[in-house]
Structure 1
């Protein structure tokens, strides 16, 4: 019974990664300013999650002592999305997605410091294996081209994401994951709402379907499943297993955008998948 439950948890986490990985192709495909894309994404996903939470009968009540943490997590989530999507616009699905996957390394270093958990050398070794995979996937760095800027933005995005995941780890046991995600979407929406009027948002008339897909599959369902996984895995374990996400994203990019990876990308993907399998087997045992 316990083995089948663990397998289900692993499969749910991988489903979350598959859904979240659609962000790469969608971020490249949707032709609107980045703050406008993220603003509509947060608004649509927020409405969908609110309806879902009401249907489930979830309580939206939060403790006053937890609100600063929830607000901070929402700000970090918004910064993560914006820097990530700018990274996508400056490069391609592979570079954009893989540059943010320095976040398992950042998480492995920060989690013991911030949550006072025991430092596990195996996590650092697996995170370094992921980093080695990313080394093969990212082309030669030249600080004068857009790809280098994309990688830098991706690393900033990774830092925001790692911090958001770590601070949310302290709250997922007290609140429903969908409710926590909804609050973050509300915060992102509030900050980006002015940009929907300042910047050109007329493109939503022609691109409402991919934007809705981004809001529903990637955000409302994918991120909620990922947030729920924090109850069953450590942040570092969830982060390392989620390293399969760029592999999914690159495959989706091949199918829908025709962005075919080179041999080095395939080598990097194999290294990343290896770390995912090792960590899955380790947590299973």
Structure 2
């Protein structure tokens, strides 16, 4: 059991590291995600073949999963764009707005009543982001792009719910990343026309960080969380992913000293968002359920 908890929090820490790597890699957001998927998808296919994992899937589910993979790719692109336009801490705080958008999107797509408590907790996050926006207006573009990322991120787990009832999580992840890579490859000429890049090829340090992002923060993190599931409940795993933005912000403070550049509005906003996470965690503990994390 102790080993499972170590594996779980190592996975969450690696997930939190993705924001830091977004700043370290010099590529623009679209190319960064394209190379991440280029390295990750074949690695997962190789692991699946070595494990003799079942890859059979209904054709209707296949195209649905490919579509969700495209949404996931756009979510990642906008997430890293948010970091490029602002910084790691602001990008991760905007990521926390996923809860607010999920409270609106899930009832609409799954045709159920709006959970007023979820909506209020999500609004608390939006108020926190508003404080950062008001006091630190030079982060405006990063915050707006980050909110787009959160909206796309809220679609990902909601659309996955029905698919995961029929298809194992490992298979869903494999095909979604493949679909995301294919979609982004088709989109890349238009993206580069709108957002020209000084170089299309990563530098040597970029390759190193991309390998960490792809193999450690994606493949290894996913496998660690799957290994932890053999000993602890899915609820505990999912709940622990609430710490992802917290870990990421602490890493950004430690590595880049972003805390030196943050005004009072950031800390007010961060406190409100942290309060929302704590209240939602306590609420989920009472209800015994949690949302599936987006790695």
Global fold match (TM > 0.5): yes
Bigger Cα displacement from structure 2, 94-103 vs 206-215: 94-103
1:162 and 2:161 are equivalent in the alignment: no
Q: CA deviation at 1:59?
A: 1.3
The 1:101–1:163 alpha-carbon spacing in structure 2 relative to 1, beyond 3 Å, is same
Is residue 89 of structure 2 the alignment partner of residue 124 of structure 1? no
Equivalent residue for 1:180, pick from 172, 175, 200: 172
Residue pairs, 1:54-203, within 5 angstroms? 54-140=49-135, 142=137, 147-193=139-185, 195=188, 200-203=199-202
Instruction: Specify whether residues 132 and 222 from structure 1 end up closer, same or farther in structure 2 by C-alpha distance, changes over 3 A only.
Output: farther
**Structure 2 counterparts to residues 221-240 of structure 1, below 5 A:** 221-222=220-221, 225=225, 232=234
* Alignment partners' CA distance in 2, 1:202 and 1:103: 32
- Aligned position for 1:259: 258
Distance 1:61 1:123, change over 3 A: same
Q: Given that residues 102 and 155 in structure 2 are in contact (C-alpha distance below 8 angstroms), is that contact kept between their aligned partners in structure 1?
A: yes
Cα contact 1:58–1:176 (8 A) shared by 2: no
| Aligned residues of 2:62 and 2:175 also touching (Cα < 8 A) | no
- Return the alpha-carbon distance in structure 2 between the equivalents of residues 53 and 93 of structure 1: 33
| 3-state secondary structure, aligned to 2:164 | coil
For residue 271 of structure 1, what is the aligned residue in structure 2? 272
The alpha-carbon distance between structure 1 residues 241 and 139, as it changes in their structure 2 partners (threshold 3 A), is farther
State the 1:84 CA deviation. Answer: 1.5
Alpha-carbon distance, 1:204 to partner:
4.0
User: d(CA) in 1 for partners of 2:134 and 2:48?
Assistant: 43
Change (3 A) 1:16 1:93: same
For 2:42, the equivalent position in structure 1 comes to: 47
TM-score normalised to structure 1 length: 0.80
2:26 is paired with a residue whose SS is coil
- C-alpha displacement of 1:27: 0.6
CA-CA distance at 1:163 after TM superposition: 1.1
Query: How many Å apart are 1:16 and its aligned residue?
Result: 4.8
Question: How many residue pairs were aligned?
Answer: 268
Distance 1:270 1:141, change over 3 A: closer
Deviations 1:97-147 (A, max 9, x none): 2223222101011111211334322212222222233334445365xx5x2
Go from structure 1 to structure 2 and tell me whether the alpha carbon gap of 1:223 and 1:164 turns closer, same or farther (over 3 Å shift): farther
CA distance in 2, matches of 1:158, 1:193: 22
| Worse-superposed segment, 257-266 or 91-100 | 257-266
Deviation at 1:221, TM superposition (A): 4.1
Cα deviation 1:224-243 (Å, max 9, x = unaligned): 749x99x956xxxx6x9755
Structure 2 residue runs without a partner (length 5+): 287-295
Aligned residues of 2:72 and 2:152 also touching (Cα < 8 A): yes
Which 5+ residue runs of structure 1 have no aligned equivalent?
none
